[in-house]
Each structure stands twice: as C-alpha cells, then as structure tokens.
C-alpha cells in the first residue's frame, strides 16, 4: 500500500511516496520545470540522510512531475540576491547543493533516477551521481552553463571527464543537447526504457526487498531497450570531436573545428562553432580547465574545487558574465 507524505509550505516541492522498502521522491515544481530551489535541495538532503540510517529503506527512486525531471538549479534567485549585494546566500545554496551531490555519489543505497524529460545542470547533479539513470525517448540532457556565464558544476568535471574520448569537453563547452539514446550510448544513462513501460518498471521496483545493485539492474533490464542513434547524432562524430576537443586551449579547439568546416560541409560542425562563439569566453576557458583537472580527481575533490570556483564567480572576481547574462 502506498502512502504519500509532505509538509505544509515549501516542502510540498518534494513529494514522498512510501511503498514497503522503497521511497520515491518526486520533484514537484512542474511550472518551473522542477528547477531546484533552496528548499527542494534542503528537503532532498534531509530525506537522503534519514533514509541512509533507516534499515527499512533499501531503494530510493527520484523522478520529476510534469515534462521535466529537473531543468537545473534556480540560479535566477541566486543572481537576484547577488545584485542586491548578498552573494553569501548563493554560497549557502551551492554548498548545500554540492553536499547533496556528494551524498548521492557515495550513497549506501541504490538510487534510481527516472529521467523522463529535461535533465539539465543541477538536474544532472542529483541524478548522474546515483547508481542508475533511466533515460526515455523524452529525455533531453544538457549542461548549458557556458552560455550563462558559469561553468559545468555539480560535480560535472568528474562525470564529463569520464565520458568516451573528449565527448565531455564537447558537451561542457557547447552546451549541446542529447536525447535518451545518446545519453545511453555515452554512459550518462545506464538504461533506456520507453516511457510507456515506466509504470510497469516502477511497480516492479516498488516490490524490491534488496539493496543489491545487481538485482536492481536486472529488474530495470527487463524493461529496457537498445535505442538506435539518429543519423545526425553527435555521437556518430566522436572521431571529429576527439580531434578537435582534445586541443589544449579553447582557441585551438575553435580553430580545429573551423578547419574541419572548410574540409566538409556539416551543419553539426557549424552549430558547434556558433555555440562556442556565443558562449562566455571566460566561462569556456574555466570549463575546459575544470574538466581536464577532473580527469585526475575523485568526485569529492571535483566538488570542493568547483565550489571554490563558483564562489569566485559569484563574487565577480573572475568576470561579471554570470550576473550580466542572467
């Protein structure tokens, strides 16, 4: 028998569904595409900490209400506070968010994130670090921070740097969007389940009485499919991505892409060039170095470094792009 619990006020932004040994957390700001507010982050952190100490909880499911899993952190509020002279509130926001990301990355229980919709920025932070990430035909992934005067944070320098070849640099610098099939192909998703099968998958997961990841994975596999990548998928261009995005500097990457464009007519190359030229130049340089350093660091080291970096950005010590763009 399912039971739903929430509290009055802001904590209704995260709904809780309890079934036997499983807890499902539902991000509940559909009009804001489930963008993470400070209250949502605080509530998620509270719940994850409670569940880790509760022997009756063996699996945590995270999903979003509406057409988005989570479109990112509510950075517009952070920028408003910065413009009002209160960058400290942003510091508190990101510290709590990164603490949640680290907890998920090191969690003792399996976490299944159902990514049936938009997954961007902070939404990636509260899902990609978990054990299982289930994409669907509705999934749309992106790390759009360089266009916002920021850089891929939430531990992104850890997971982007571990994607095949230099695909992580490509995603982090251009903010390119991936569909569910591409997420599975590059490893951002662990499984692909058609959305029509999600009710059946969730019903099977709710019956779980185990913390064994092999058992959880086997259940998800029963409903999984191997989708076909679209002909125009960026993942088909991994050889070009590796040639260009392996270059030492942003300028070298851009020059390499422009050389590719002279040799071959390809809308994807032109779109990548345009994305880089539209992004914040400072953000591009910071992002490239961050991802490169992330290859040599653990997830905790990446989050600590990214937290220090984001504090510098909020103080305007690096550039004013973040507050000006937003």
Active site residue 267: no
> Hey, what are 62's tokens?
């995270």
Residue of 11, 74, 97, 145 marked catalytic: 145
Question: What are 3's strand-pairing partners?
Answer: 18
Are 30 and 67 a contacting pair, CB within 8 Å? yes
CA distance 194 to 289: 37
Torsion of CA 155, 158, 160, 161, to 10 degrees: 160
- The Cβ of residue 157 has, within 10 Å, a number of other Cβ atoms equal to 29
Residue 73 catalytic?
yes
**DSSP single-letter state for residue 117:** S
Given 73, 123, 155, 172, the catalytic residue: 73
In the set 11, 74, 97, 153, the catalytic residue is 153
Q: Is 46 a catalytic residue?
A: no
Q: Catalytic residue, from 64, 122, 123, 175: name it.
A: 122
State yes or no: is 145 an active-site residue.
yes
Residue 206 CA to residue 224 CA, distance in Å, equals 17
CA–CA separation, 248 and 318 (whole Å): 21
The tokens 């995270």 sit on which residue? 62
Catalytic residues: 73, 122, 145, 153
């Amino acid at each position: 028998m399912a039971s739903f619990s929430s509290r009055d006020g802001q904590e209704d932004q995260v709904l809780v569904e309890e079934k036997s040994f499983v807890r499902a957390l539902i991000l509940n700001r559909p009009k804001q595409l489930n963008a993470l507010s400070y209250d949502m982050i605080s509530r998620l952190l509270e719940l994850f900490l409670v569940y880790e100490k509760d022997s009756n909880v063996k699996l945590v499911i995270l999903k979003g209400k509406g057409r988005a899993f989570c479109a990112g952190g509510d950075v517009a509020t952070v920028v408003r506070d910065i413009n009002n002279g209160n960058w400290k509130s942003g510091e508190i926001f990101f510290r709590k968010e990164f603490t949640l990301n680290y907890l998920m990355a090191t969690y003792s229980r399996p976490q299944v994130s159902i990514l049936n919709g938009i997954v961007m920025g902070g939404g990636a932070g509260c899902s990609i670090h978990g054990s299982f990430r289930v994409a669907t035909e509705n999934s749309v992934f992106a790390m759009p921070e360089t266009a916002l005067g920021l850089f891929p944070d939430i531990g992104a320098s850890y997971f982007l740097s571990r994607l095949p070849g230099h695909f992580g640099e490509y995603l982090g610098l251009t903010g390119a969007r991936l569909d569910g099939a591409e997420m599975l192909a590059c490893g951002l998703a662990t499984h692909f389940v058609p959305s029509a099968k999600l009710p059946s998958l969730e019903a099977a997961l709710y019956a779980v009485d185990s913390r064994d990841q092999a058992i959880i994975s086997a259940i998800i596999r029963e409903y999984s499919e191997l989708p076909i990548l679209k002909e125009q998928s960026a993942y088909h261009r991994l050889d070009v991505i590796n040639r260009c995005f392996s270059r030492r500097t942003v300028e070298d990457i851009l020059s390499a892409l422009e050389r590719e464009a002279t040799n071959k007519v390809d809308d994807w190359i032109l779109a990548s060039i345009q994305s880089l030229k539209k992004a914040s130049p400072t953000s591009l340089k910071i992002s490239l170095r961050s991802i490169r350093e992330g290859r040599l660091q653990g997830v905790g080291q990446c989050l600590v470094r990214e937290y220090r970096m984001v504090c510098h950005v909020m103080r305007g010590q690096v550039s004013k792009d973040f507050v000006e763009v937003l």
